[in-house]
Chain A
């Protein structure tokens, strides 16, 4: 009976990306050994995950219907920063808080892995652009083939709004994703985004 519960815990931990049987078992035994207070902390945090939703305007993380960024009127109204994943917003806000508005595409186009234009939040993006008077879209996407396909596709799809497009400046190594950029490189490459 008890062993079954340990296995259940191991299986649950394996949900995390990059965690295999071995690591999961180690975590599981560490958790079993840790004190009750820590376990309660974890349970509480886990439960709170259910309250982390997506902002209906930008698709970023939010506890409410609309996130604090979209509600903040004191940001640069000319620019909309487009990112692939919600966590990218956190990364940018960390190093340059309070400057931009964002929109989360939800991914990038990658047909080999089954991701096409249907997997982008395109209609919501159009809504956000219509509701605001952005002049420029800053594309903060991975500098991979897939990132380039996605940005070329968006430029075609948003042509009716007469927007300028710019993308992160040089300095982003080919194929690198946002999470591996150091802070200074990230700030530089967004601030000096170049027109495309």
Chain B
């Protein structure tokens, strides 16, 4: 999969611009707060149809405007066109000219891996972030998973609503619980086999980045099934996927508590970059890799390894405040854009040579 261009219209600080992406490396430079991440957000949004920065779609629309539009031209076995138009009330996803495509059918049409400083939270943050990691990355290539997950989320709410009733029909609760348990089991199975794959590739990447001295283990943690009587008392679901998590061990110890900042960054890189091979093994194509401000803090050796890793085969975008910390070899072949603020409300993207 190669993304040829991205168009942003009334999307945050960008009024109307199209940027062509290099088939290998594109570099976005600019000061903090000028809107570099907006471009990353736009690409991410076209993959998942949610933002990683906000849950409120309205915030994506430029101030004073009503409608936003993003458009991507990309090619895999053919040329494709993906457009998303939205305002406060509605969203229309257009895929190759077909209006009103469902989100579930369109997720992962373009595939994106995002590595930014927040990726460290996969290790140190709340369980919800790790579940998000699982759900987003599996969803990119597994349609069945998306379907089951959406069914599960609805059923979870139904079950919760039923548990709040003062008088509960036990047969109804049993019927819903059976379906609930079936979906939990099936989704867990997918998540666990995904984690096994991630674990395998992560160790290869960690091995490269840490010169072979570290090993990570990923262990899925299933929440324990609770007694229905207790759930009735509490009037809510007390078990399910929303209570699951996974544990990350580095050299047998819990990374969340004991890993150093540097180790956490290495693991985060491994968790994200392992998707390269996983997605490739499922779909025989590589996703777009976005490295937003992460390479800066890496030491020379790991930085070189990272660029080498991506240099060979994938389309990548590097986002940075300065061009200085990008290796010469990458700079020579890349397309470089500079993002600058023209006034309080607008930014502009220009190609530099």
Contact = CB atoms under 8 A, between A and B. Distances in A.
A93 to B, nearest CB: 30
Contacts of A111: 158-159, 161-162, 165
B175 A156 contact: yes
A157 B174 CA distance: 12
Contacts of A117: 169, 171-172
Interface in A73-116: 109-112, 116
A112 B162 CA distance: 8
B154 interface: yes
Interface stretch (A35-43, A55-63, A142-150): A142-150
Main secondary structure of the interface of A (DSSP, over half): helix
Contacts of B176: 149
Contacts of A148: 179
B151 interface: yes
Contacts of B155: 145
A148 B176 CA distance: 9
Interface string B51-68: 000000000000000000
A112 B172 contact: no
Contacts of B179: 145, 148-149, 152
B283 interface: no
Contacts of B151: 145
Nearest to A110: B158
A112 B171 contact: no
A110 B157 CA distance: 10
A68 interface: no
Contact of B171 (A110, A145, A146, A156): A156
B297 interface: no
B158 A116 contact: no
Nearest to A146: B158
Contacts of A153: 171-172, 175
Interface residues of A, number: 15
Contacts of A157: 171
Contacts of B158: 110-112, 145-146, 149
Interface of B is mostly: helix
B235 to A, nearest CB: 12
Interface in A151-195: 152-153, 156-157, 174
Contacts of B162: 111, 116
Given A111-B162, A149-B175, A156-B175, A116 B157 contact: no
Nearest to A153: B175
B351 interface: no
A156 B177 CA distance: 14
A145 B157 CA distance: 11
Contact of A112 (B161, B174, B175, B178): B161
Nearest to A154: B175
B254 to A, nearest CB: 37
Interface in A111-157: 111-112, 116-117, 145-146, 148-149, 152-153, 156-157
A146 B158 CA distance: 9
A152 B175 contact: yes
B228 to A, nearest CB: 15
A28 to B, nearest CB: 25
Interface string B152-195: 00110111011001000101101110110000000000000000
A174 B143 CA distance: 14
B187 to A, nearest CB: 14
A116 B174 CA distance: 13
Nearest to A112: B161
A125 B161 CA distance: 26
Contacts of B169: 116-117
Contacts of A152: 175, 178-179
Contacts of B174: 156
Nearest to B174: A156
Contacts of B178: 152
Nearest to A118: B169
A106 to B, nearest CB: 15
A112 B165 contact: no
A105 to B, nearest CB: 14
A157 B172 CA distance: 9
A111 B172 CA distance: 10
A29 to B, nearest CB: 26
23 contacts: A109-B172, A111-B158, A111-B159, A112-B157, A112-B161, A116-B162, A116-B165, A116-B169, A117-B169, A117-B171, A117-B172, A145-B151, A145-B154, A145-B155, A149-B176, A149-B179, A152-B175, A152-B178, A152-B179, A153-B171, A156-B171, A156-B174, A157-B171
Interface of A: 109-112, 116-117, 145-146, 148-149, 152-153, 156-157, 174
Interface of B: 147, 151, 154-155, 157-159, 161-162, 165, 169, 171-172, 174-176, 178-179
Given A149-B158, A149-B176, 7 more contacts: A112-B157, A116-B165, A117-B169, A148-B179, A152-B178, A156-B174, A156-B175
